[in-house]
Amino acid sequence: MTKLRLAIVGAGPAGIYAADILLKAEKNFDVSIDLFEQLPAPYGLVRYGVAPDHPRIKGIITALREVLDTGRIRLFGNVLYGRDITLDDLKKHYNAVIFSTGAVRDADLDIPGIDLDGSYGAAEFVSWYDGHPDVAREWPLEAKEVAVIGNGNVALDVARILAKHADDLLPTEIPSNVYDALLASPVTDVHVFGRRGPMQVKFTPLELRELGELRDVDMIVHDEDFDYDDASKTAIASNKQVLVIDKVFTQWRAREAGTASRRLHLHFHAKPVEIIGEGRVEGFRYERTAPDGEGGVIGTGEIRELPVQAIYRAVGYFGSPLAEIPFDEKRGVIPNREGQVLDDSDHPLPGVYATGWIKRGPVGLIGHTKSDAMETIKHVVNDQANWWAPTHPDEQSVVDLLEERGVEFTDLGGWHRLDEHEKALGEPSGRARIKVVPRDEMVTVSRASD
């Protein structure tokens, strides 16, 4: 039976699902998979991109763990592609590689003032409150009035974390430094801005409904945003999710407001124009838009301003380039055709594949990630004639290589140790876990028995 040695770079859902699909579907090859992850822990954005008060979404980790725990996949954590292991290294040890490195940077928002002090990317803020080991542990939560630009789930996550009382986050795995900073936050008003109307939002009904359940937070919506055009009415009539979103907004519009100590405002038909300030954020300027009759909007020329002292842009994630791999700077993805990575001449690069957000961009949910992986795996299997011919295909040779280079890699057993350690840290206070944040501490705990 032909041996297929496969490297997967990125141990988030995309990489783990790709490994699982290959192992379950492939009967013609003896498959051996090594999963490389730059962080000491697996699961990618499920661990470091989902708000800590979303335990249902984090349930995905259970399914991912079951895949890793089959014992058929080796995990090499704390290994950075391009530094600790290179494309040439992979060619010597594997028949092919799949890049599943995701999209973790903030997409740009090209408006004046975006670089002022107090203007932040949502992805960086999410990494901070999720205890990502590679971001600073302090965050300047000094603003009373905050703007969040965007109408997706990340925008709502950011707004919810900013508006929520810190004590209500204590049952979660929120890191202690994040709790302390949120507890001291002087915030009174969080404003969320979307360019289109309320029936064209990108967030899910669940996310929206959760906002309305925040303790001591008034939900503020504006009647002028709910004069629906025909396209919005059609969306309500034809799409169950949109119907539920409309019902939530209808309930909020009927609520009494004014008694809570904090307010969360949703503004629609608001196109970002400029961030105002001398040296730092002092206000937000936007143009009022109107429906164009087809689900989009047109500008009205009416300019409005709102005083805020901090702004978070949540306008999407963006991929990062990888050493020696083609990259589309405009879209933030690896150029590919159904997962086959393409060179500058639009020809497939032998042995190189992509899946997940680095393949298709930061869109879609877990279901899309699985179908994405299936498409890529199909090409990996069918491209045997274009596989690399590794000179050191034995599994021990990769371990030897990393050890020779002094890479303090973590393995699956190490992740289990770290996982149990975090749970033990949370146990005295009745919490599911308390994340270990510093990278060196994560590595030390993971490698404790080495």
The number of distinct structural domains making up the chain is: 2
Q: Could you tell me if residue 431 is inside a domain?
A: no
Output the DSSP codes for 265-292: EEE-SEEEEEEE-SSB--EEEEEEEEE-
Residues 134 and 271 grouped into a single domain: yes
Give the pLDDT band (50/70/90) at residue 1: low
pLDDT at 337 > cutoff 90: yes
60-68 vs 13-25: helix crossing angle, rounded to 10? 50
Cα gap 41→293, rounded to integer Å? 48
Residues 175 and 290 grouped into a single domain: yes
pLDDT in tens, 382-393: 999 999 999 999
Cα gap 276→293, rounded to integer Å? 32
Q: Could you tell me if residue 433 is inside a domain?
A: no
Is the separation of the CB atoms in 84 and 407 below 8 Å? yes
Last residue of a domain, one of 282, 316, 350: 316
| Tally of CB atoms within 10 A around 440 | 12
Domain holding 65, by residue range, is 2-104+319-409
pLDDT at 69 > cutoff 80: yes
412-426 vs 439-446: helix crossing angle, rounded to 10? 110
pLDDT at 124 > cutoff 70: yes
Return the H-helix or E-strand segment holding 50. Answer: none
pLDDT at 67 > cutoff 90: yes
Residues 289 and 159 grouped into a single domain: yes
Q: What is the mean pLDDT of the chain?
A: 94
Output the DSSP codes for 184-207: T----EEEEE-SS-GGG--S-HHH
pLDDT at 209 > cutoff 60: yes
Express as a percent the part of the chain with pLDDT over 90: 83
pLDDT at 368 > cutoff 90: no
Express as a percent the part of the chain with pLDDT over 70: 98
Residue 258 burial (10 A CB sphere; 0-12, 13-18, 19+): exposed
Range in 10-14, 33-37, 44-48, 110-114 with the lowest mean pLDDT:
44-48
Give the pLDDT band (50/70/90) at residue 450: low
What backbone torsions phi and psi does residue 78 show, to the nearest 5 degrees? 60, 30
pLDDT at 26 > cutoff 80: no
Average pLDDT estimate for 297-309: 97
Average pLDDT estimate for 68-80: 95
> Cα–Cα–Cα angle for 281, 305, 220, nearest 5°?
100
Higher-pLDDT residue of 103, 78? 78
Q: Give me the half-sphere count of Cα atoms (radius 13 Å) on the Cβ side of residue 414.
A: 23
Average pLDDT estimate for 362-382: 87
Residues 273 and 151 grouped into a single domain: yes
The pLDDT value recorded for residue 431 is 85
Residues 309 and 385 grouped into a single domain: no
pLDDT at 58 > cutoff 60: yes
pLDDT at 228 > cutoff 60: yes
Average pLDDT estimate for 425-440: 90
Which CATH number belongs to the domain containing residue 173 in this structure?
A: 3.50.50.60
Give the pLDDT band (50/70/90) at residue 113: very high
pLDDT at 311 > cutoff 90: yes
Q: Could you tell me if residue 449 is inside a domain?
A: no
Residues 286 and 365 grouped into a single domain: no
Higher-pLDDT residue of 312, 430? 312
Residues 197 and 282 grouped into a single domain: yes
